Amino acid sequence: MKTKRQIQKESTKIKISNAAYNVYSEYGFSATTAMIAKEAGVSHGTIFVHFPSVNELLIHLIEIFGNRLALEMHNLSKKNDAIETLLIAYIDVLKKYESFYIRLISERCLLPEDVQMIFVNIQSSIAVHFNEVIVTKIENQMIKNLPVHLLFNTWMGLLHYYLLNKDLFSPEESLLERYDSELITTFLELIKN
Amino acid sequence: MKICIACGMPMLEKSDFAGEDTKKDYCIHCTRPDGSMQSFEEKKAGMIHFIIKTQGFDYKAATKIAESNMKRLPAWKDCFNTEV
């Protein structure tokens, strides 16, 4: 059983993580830890008790949503579900982190290399699960016989183009809430045999 | 939930484990035909191949990604301390 102190420690860590998501989403990765401390309502030093460096904080944030995404994809690809189911589940997780994800894809090159690699590895894991599902569909002639990396990159290209231009496509509301069905339906229509 | 020490895959069902043995710490994808775990070089080559196949990346970039992934996995920590 956890002690009161442990529970409080975990709660503060969650509070800092949530504040960091908000601050990075709004201001990008040049935002300072002082801004995160203010948002979380904790002292500046408290952040470093939980995350000894900014890199560790960033890695923690990317891993939380990345692991969630990877586990969801893993479960669905094992069932060899429809591609549509996989893409819906994928977008549903992204919806919860939309602003943070846009920062990640637009500012990735500005992040320290070890942090970048965490994100790139998550994308690789998504690609593997996408591949598992798509290969079977190609074998069953349900999908065009195109290289799997191009099918994956076509989907990511479409999705990222809309996300990176959110200010033009959906300035007032969540882009993924507005375009999810249209993007999925169009992509499936393009690749089906 | 167990995570494969060699590739990081979540092992949720019996069929995910090497030889369907839930006591094993590595998954079915990291197993040699004789049931033993793949070597560092075998796993690295496999990961690079998969990254190129599924994402179309350049070989050098794929190698960097595979190595950074392996560095974080328990099975290969010692390999990096001595080899890299």
Domain boundaries, chain A: 1-52, 53-191
Greater model confidence, A71 or A106: A106
Q: Tell me which of 3.90.550.10, 1.10.10.60, 3.30.56.10, 3.20.20.80 is the CATH number of domain A1-52.
A: 1.10.10.60
Question: CA B57 to CA B49: how far, in whole Å?
Answer: 10
Long-range contacts of A67-73 (CB under 8 A, 24+ apart): A68/A93, A69/A93, A69/A94, A69/A122, A69/A126, A70/A122, A70/A125, A70/A126, A70/A129, A70/B10, A71/B10, A73/A125, A73/A126, A73/A129, A73/A130
pLDDT (0 to 100) of residue A80: 66
Map tokens 């993580």 to a residue. Answer: A17
Question: CA B62 to CA A188: how far, in whole Å?
Answer: 28
As for the ipTM of the complex, it is: 0.85
Determine which of B54, B65, B68, B69 to mutate to test the interface with A (most A C-beta atoms within 10 Å).
B54
Cβ atoms A79, B12 nearer than 8 A: no
Cβ atoms A48, A16 nearer than 8 A: no
State the Cα angle at A131 between A127 and A135, rounded to 5°.
170
Nearest-neighbour CA in chain A from B29: distance (Å):
12
**Average pLDDT in chain B:** 91
Homologous superfamily, domain A53-191: Tetracycline Repressor, domain 2 (1.10.357.10)
List, in order, residues 6 or more apart from A178 with CB less than 8 Å away. Answer: A169, A170
pLDDT (0 to 100) of residue B82: 55
Q: Say yes or no to pLDDT of A1 above 80.
A: no
pLDDT (0 to 100) of residue B84: 46
- Please compute the mean of the pLDDT values over residues A41-54 and round it to a whole number: 95
Cβ atoms A72, A95 nearer than 8 A: no
Please report residues of B whose CB lies closer than 8 A to that of A130. 54
- Please compute the mean of the pLDDT values over residues B67-75 and round it to a whole number: 93
Contact state of A128 with B65 under an 8 Å Cβ cutoff: no
Q: Say yes or no to pLDDT of A158 above 50.
A: yes
Q: Say yes or no to pLDDT of A35 above 80.
A: yes
Q: Say yes or no to pLDDT of B45 above 50.
A: yes
Please report residues of B whose CB lies closer than 8 A to that of A75. 12
Q: Say yes or no to pLDDT of A5 above 90.
A: no
Q: Of the given ranges (A75-84, A169-178, B17-26), which has the lowest mean pLDDT? A: A75-84
